[in-house]
């Protein structure tokens, strides 16, 4: 079954195929992809293919050069057309491998496993996860192989984060209903790698289908539970989730593993299951396309698909493009242009009509209402941080814990003066971190 659409002025026949019995996910097949070589928090991978080379789906195209980098793989089969700087969601240019899709879906050989006799089972799992280029798919994009490497016996809780990371984004809730067994298998592998004593699938109470499906599938498995979370943003935040479920608070400057907890997004869990069981690289993800768009949908998209092609597949804007956001409405990036690639953490593309774009309204002086402090989940004082950032007082920003901000956007959302508090605090946090790295105490 197919559908003819127009992309770049060219008529293209693409599959209009539903990937699950419930009809919740549509397959998106792009004309081309621009796979970013910088996918994680570290240095970009190094290209191991050349322009003009034929590549297969899942083939290694970027090798990680340091521990915190992540491998990159071809998300379609076809021809490498160019390798070079490409505008990305953050506005900066990054090296991408452009592949013209040949629509043949020729797949690469499965990722080679370690010999069964080499290393502990946890080491073999971690090795496969690294080779598959799996990173956090909830937005942080931290390499999962590093996150899995913890001291055996130190982890009490493994939390599978199925909470809606932001309003409107349905990718994870749909995944839990349509790929239940893979989510559970991924959780089991994470538990095996980390030695966690308990596993909990954490889902907001409004996602009744996901709760019911996972509860039934988990059954009476020892030390595995499904936990209902309040439908309250930002419940999907790592630190907020840990506090609610375990009662433990992650100290400033520490990691969850320091207090006996690991947290993995449910999408990451499925990618881990695919890597370990089938030798599949991370090449696709679910992406919610919504807002002021003609046909909102949850799509399975190849990594590196261009935002403009994804939107055209869904019929484009229902009125006009005021703003297009990659990621959620609270923490996502507003795109300066539409020909930017979706990375591994791109869980949604949201269209905002011009009349709904609050950011176009003028900013007014702070009225000292303190609403921003009341809603801050990290118990910071956004109004004071904003003032310190505006006067370039980084010593004050450090004292006020700018680096503890999780950029949830609650302060900006609630501000009656429309002050871009989250943006300014994030800028202050970035500056303070750079000062710490350079040895400057900011005093």
d(C-alpha 331, C-alpha 423), whole Å = 10
pLDDT of res. 442: 56
Q: Are 176 and 214 in contact (CB under 8 A)?
A: yes
pLDDT of res. 355: 85
pLDDT of res. 85: 94
pLDDT digits over 419-440, tens only?
A: 999 999 999 999 999 998 877 7
- Encoding tokens for residue 88? 């990305």
138, 142, 147, 149 alpha-carbon torsion, rounded to 10°: 150
Give the DSSP H/E element, type plus range, for residue 286.
strand 284-291
Contacts of 343 (CB under 8 A, 6+ apart): 36, 39, 88, 89, 141, 303, 304
pLDDT of res. 437: 81
pLDDT of res. 443: 55
Greatest Cα pair distance in the chain: 66
The stretches in the chain having pLDDT less than 70 are: 1-23, 40-41, 115-120, 441-443
pLDDT of res. 15: 39
pLDDT of res. 65: 87
pLDDT of res. 436: 85
231: alpha, beta or left, given left = phi > 0 and alpha = psi -120 to 50? Answer: beta
- Encoding tokens for residue 417? 């003066």
pLDDT of res. 66: 86
pLDDT of res. 118: 55
pLDDT of res. 164: 80
pLDDT of res. 23: 58
pLDDT of res. 441: 62
d(C-alpha 268, C-alpha 245), whole Å = 20
| Angle (CA) 380 386 391, round 5° | 135
pLDDT of res. 148: 95
- Encoding tokens for residue 55? 């590549």
Instruction: Tell me which DSSP letter residue 303 carries.
Output: T
- The radius of gyration computed from the CA coordinates of the chain, to the nearest angstrom, equals 22
d(C-alpha 56, C-alpha 105), whole Å = 7
pLDDT of res. 2: 43
- Encoding tokens for residue 169? 């984004």
Contacts of 215 (CB under 8 A, 6+ apart): 226
């Amino acid at each position: 079954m197919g559908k003819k659409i127009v992309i770049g002025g060219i008529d293209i026949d693409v599959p209009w195929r539903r990937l699950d019995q419930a009809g919740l996910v549509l397959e998106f097949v792009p004309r081309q992809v621009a796979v970013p070589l910088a996918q994680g928090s570290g240095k970009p991978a190094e290209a191991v293919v050349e322009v003009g080379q034929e590549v297969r789906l899942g083939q290694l195209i970027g090798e990680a050069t340091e521990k915190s980098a992540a491998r990159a793989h071809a998300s379609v089969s076809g021809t490498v057309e160019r390798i070079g700087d490409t505008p990305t969601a953050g506005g900066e240019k990054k090296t991408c491998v452009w592949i013209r899709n040949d629509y043949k879906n020729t797949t690469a050989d499965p990722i080679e496993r370690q010999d069964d006799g080499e290393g502990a089972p946890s080491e073999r799992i971690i090795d496969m996860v690294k080779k598959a280029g799996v990173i956090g798919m909830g937005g942080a994009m931290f390499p999962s192989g590093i996150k899995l490497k913890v001291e055996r016996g130190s982890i009490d809780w493994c939390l599978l984060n199925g909470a809606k990371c932001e309003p409107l984004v349905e990718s994870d809730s749909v995944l839990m209903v349509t790929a239940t067994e893979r989510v559970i298998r991924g959780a089991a592998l994470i538990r095996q790698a980390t030695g966690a004593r308990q596993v909990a699938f954490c889902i907001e109470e409004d996602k009744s289908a996901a709760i019911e499906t996972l509860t039934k599938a988990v059954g009476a498995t020892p030390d595995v539970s499904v936990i209902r979370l309040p439908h309250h943003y930002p419940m999907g935040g790592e630190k907020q989730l840990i506090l609610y479920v375990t009662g433990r608070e992650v100290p400033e400057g520490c990691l969850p593993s320091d207090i006996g907890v690991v947290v993995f997004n449910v999408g990451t869990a499925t990618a881990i299951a695919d890597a370990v069981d089938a030798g599949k690289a991370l090449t696709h993800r679910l992406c919610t396309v919504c807002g002021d768009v003609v046909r909102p949908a949850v799509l399975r998209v190849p990594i590196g698909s261009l935002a403009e092609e994804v939107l055209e597949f869904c019929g484009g804007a229902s009125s006009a493009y005021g703003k297009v956001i990659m990621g959620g409405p609270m923490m996502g990036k507003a795109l300066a242009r539409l020909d930017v690639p979706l990375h591994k953490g791109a869980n949604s593309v949201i269209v905002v009509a011009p009349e709904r774009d609050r950011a176009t309204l003028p900013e007014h002086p702070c009225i000292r209402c303190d609403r921003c402090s009341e809603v801050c989940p990290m118990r910071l004082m956004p109004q004071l941080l904003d003032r310190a950032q505006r006067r370039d007082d980084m010593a004050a920003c450090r004292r006020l814990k700018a680096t503890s901000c999780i950029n949830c956007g609650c302060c900006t959302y609630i501000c009656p003066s429309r002050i871009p508090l989250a943006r300014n605090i994030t800028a202050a946090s970035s500056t303070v971190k750079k000062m710490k790295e350079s040895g400057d105490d900011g005093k």
